[in-house]
């Protein structure tokens, strides 16, 4: 998150003087565009994509919370 601690894109944006969130927005836009192109090419449904996103969010949240509360290093 660029709000508390700058991530890679935030640091590079600040160094270039183009605003903290500018490069992050550009990178996210490019990634969304690439996902759109691949989804169109392989005819992936919105249901499949939303299901995948929800599963990724669920499992990554479980990993992060397990690490924070129980100090279990899984990765």
pLDDT at residue 53 in the model: 95
Give every CB contact of residue 9 below 8 A, 6+ residues apart in sequence: 2, 23, 24, 27
Q: What is the pLDDT of residue 46?
A: 94
Same domain, 31 and 51: no
CA separation for the pair 46, 52 (Å, rounded) = 10
Residues 16 and 31 placed together within one structural domain of the fold: yes
Question: What is residue 1's predicted lDDT score, i.e. its pLDDT?
Answer: 64
The CA-atom distances, in angstroms, between 17 and each of 20, 48, 51, 64 are 8, 39, 38, 32
Range of the domain at 72: 45-75
Query: So what's the pLDDT on residue 5?
Result: 86
Burial of 31 (0-12, 13-18, 19+ CB in 10 A): exposed
What is the pLDDT, as a whole number, of residue 3?
80
CB 24, CB 10: distance < 8 Å: yes
31 & 52 share domain: no
Is the pTM here over 0.75, yes or no?
A: no
Given this model, what pLDDT does residue 33 score? 97
Which residue stretches of the chain have pLDDT < 50? Answer: none
């Amino acid at each position: 998150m660029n709000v508390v601690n700058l991530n890679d894109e935030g640091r590079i944006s600040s160094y270039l003087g183009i605003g903290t969130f500018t490069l992050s927005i550009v990178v996210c836009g490019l990634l969304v565009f690439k996902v759109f192109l691949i989804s169109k090419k392989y005819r992936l449904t919105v249901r499949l994509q939303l299901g995948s996103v929800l599963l990724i969010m669920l499992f990554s949240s479980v990993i992060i919370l397990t690490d924070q509360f129980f100090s279990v290093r899984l990765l």
